[in-house]
Amino acid sequence: MDFKVKQGNPLKVKTNCLVIFYPTKGTTSKTLSLFDKNNDGLVTRILKKNKSAKNSGKHITIYEPKSTLADQIILLSIGDSKELSTKKCKE
């Protein structure tokens, strides 16, 4: 499977599957905030209802998300937001 790591607007990426990282603690990324805002707070509601999703390494799949060109989105928890970088995402 071929993966590409990019930063940018998740609403403009045409792909079968888009992965957006979210922190289990710390500040939420601009990418996740933009996606959440344009989906009427969907991510916020999911994370409030799913307590185990806040553990590092957990993921949530959203099929046919609105306001984006991706067929599905995987939200992947990554731990502390201070440690997030493009290099770490590739690992």
* Average pLDDT estimate for 16-22: 85
Q: Which class is domain 17-86?
A: alpha beta
Residues 50-74 have pLDDT tens digits of 766 666 678 889 898 888 888 998 8
**C-beta of residue 15 within 8 angstroms of C-beta of residue 65:** no
Q: pTM for the complete prediction?
A: 0.73
Distance CA 69, CA 60 (A): 18
**C-beta of residue 77 within 8 angstroms of C-beta of residue 56:** yes
Distance CA 11, CA 65 (A): 10
Task: Report which DSSP code applies to 61.
Answer: E
Residues 37-54 have pLDDT tens digits of 988 998 888 888 876 666
Domain locations in the chain? 17-86
* Rounded to 5°, angle at Cα 56 from 84 and 78: 20
